[in-house]
Amino acid sequence: MSDLILLKPYTFQTEKYNNRIAMAPMTRSRAGNEGNLATEQMAIYYADRADAGLLISEGTVVSKKAVGFINVPGIYSQEQTESWKQVTKAVHDKGGKIFVQLWHTGRLSHPDLHNGELPHAPSAIDPHAQAYVESGFIDTVTPKEMTIGEIKATVLDFKNSAKNAVDAGFDGIEIHAANGYLFQQFFTGTSNVRTDEYGGSIENKARILFETLDALKDVISYSRVGVRLNPSLHNAQGTTLDKDTIATHEYIVKRLNDYGLAYLHLTEPFTDVSEVPYAVTEVAKHFRPMYNGLLMINKGFTRETGNKVIEDGDADMVAYGVPFISNPDLVKRFELNAPLNEADRSTFYTFTDKGYNDYPKLGE
């Protein structure tokens, strides 16, 4: 047995984690059924990975309008809520914990996914990115600027989905405020040129996130809510950094201290930002001093670097993405310092068990 701190049990407030490893949220597009329900195939996938300290589900949409990928599951309908019970039960039966990631893609979507209607966004600005539809990845379009009523309705969609998550047996929820999706579109000057209370100042650009958090108080304890941010996202996911981006994220992170959340989930930059003005190159190091609670960090970590970031005091947990796709027994492999299976990118978003439930565990 390894003595890595990464692998040791960890308690934060009253919550006990079997280790400091999380599975990062990852869209796998296996909910290609009418109603976009969770399935038995998905229950097997998550239960197979249940020895992570925490599983975070794939992005799960809070409404029909939130969709930006085909075949992703939702958690806004009663039927969807029921369908997730087999997943949470399968994970709990294996002694695991699972949060559901609540997702609205905003302008990173396409009319093909909305009966020909435009996707919703803070402002009518095309991200010049791609959305994943029936025919594969296609170019995005100029979205529709949301009315105040549509913003308020979206906040309620998050609240409704959080309530459904509790009913479905999830241990908590993660608000997806990262990776260029709806919330980050509000945070960023290149996607938000609104002149009302949701645009302009830093406080205004961050408003939708805090209104969402405030709306949750009636349906879930904040100790079961995480928030995901990707502050240095640049030239990816239709997002470019501007002079206020980091300051906006600093404001958000500091204000999140008031909520007593389960965790703050940050990602290191997705692209090389060493030459980019206004970027932060070391996200965990930069934000750690501003946040008092559990800080989870992600992106590109190995067994050794994940252990080091915790030892250095820059994070409390590490989320692994791609390594968990191809290694259902990742925790065990880390314990034994065993080699890892390579992931097959061609099956990340396909529909069958190939590249999903067929990666071998050690000894298989």
Ligand X SMILES: Cc1cc2nc3c(=O)[nH]c(=O)nc-3n(C[C@H](O)[C@H](O)[C@H](O)COP(=O)(O)O)c2cc1C
Which residues does the annotation mark as catalytic?
181
Helix axes 148-167, 78-93, angle to 10 degrees: 40
Give the binding range for ligand X (CB under 6 A) out of 183-191, 240-248, 315-323, 331-339: 315-323
Using the rule CB under 6 A, is 24 a contact of ligand X?
A: yes
Smallest gap, in angstroms, from Cβ of residue 23 to ligand X? 9
- Give CA 108 to chain center in angstroms: 15
Q: Which residue is nearest to ligand X (CB)?
A: 321
161 to 190: interface string for ligand X, x by CB under 6 A: ---------------x-xx-----------
Cα gap 137→109, rounded to integer Å: 10
Nearest Cα to Cα of residue 227 among 267, 190, 200: 267
Exactly one of 21, 22, 46, 59 binds ligand X (CB under 6 A); that residue is 59
- Give CA 129 to chain center in angstroms: 19
Using the rule CB under 6 A, is 267 a contact of ligand X?
A: yes
127 Cβ neighbours under 8 A, 6+ residues apart: 107, 108, 140, 180, 185, 191, 237, 238, 239
Burial of 1 (C-beta count, 10 Å sphere; 0-12/13-18/19+): exposed
Exactly one of 32, 200, 293, 300 binds ligand X (CB under 6 A); that residue is 300
Give the binding range for ligand X (CB under 6 A) out of 14-22, 185-193, 255-263, 314-322: 314-322
Cα gap 325→322, rounded to integer Å: 5
- DSSP, collapsed to helix, strand or coil, labels residue 237 as coil
Check residue 187 and report its DSSP letter.
Answer: H
Interaction residues for ligand X, span 188-227 (CB under 6 A)? none
Q: How many residues bind ligand X (CB under 6 A)?
A: 21
Nearest Cα to Cα of residue 109 among 84, 140, 71: 140
Smallest gap, in angstroms, from Cβ of residue 25 to ligand X? 4
Closer to ligand X by Cβ: residue 41 or 277: 41
- Give CA 285 to chain center in angstroms: 20
Exactly one of 25, 68, 74, 306 binds ligand X (CB under 6 A); that residue is 25
Give the binding range for ligand X (CB under 6 A) out of 10-18, 129-137, 213-221, 297-305: 297-305
Q: Which residues pair with 318 in a beta bridge?
A: 21, 297
Using the rule CB under 6 A, is 58 a contact of ligand X?
A: yes
Give the binding range for ligand X (CB under 6 A) out of 20-28, 107-115, 130-138, 203-211: 20-28
Interaction residues for ligand X, span 226-245 (CB under 6 A)? 228
Q: Which residues bind ligand X (CB under 6 A)?
A: 24-27, 58-59, 101, 176, 178-179, 228, 267, 298-301, 320-323, 348
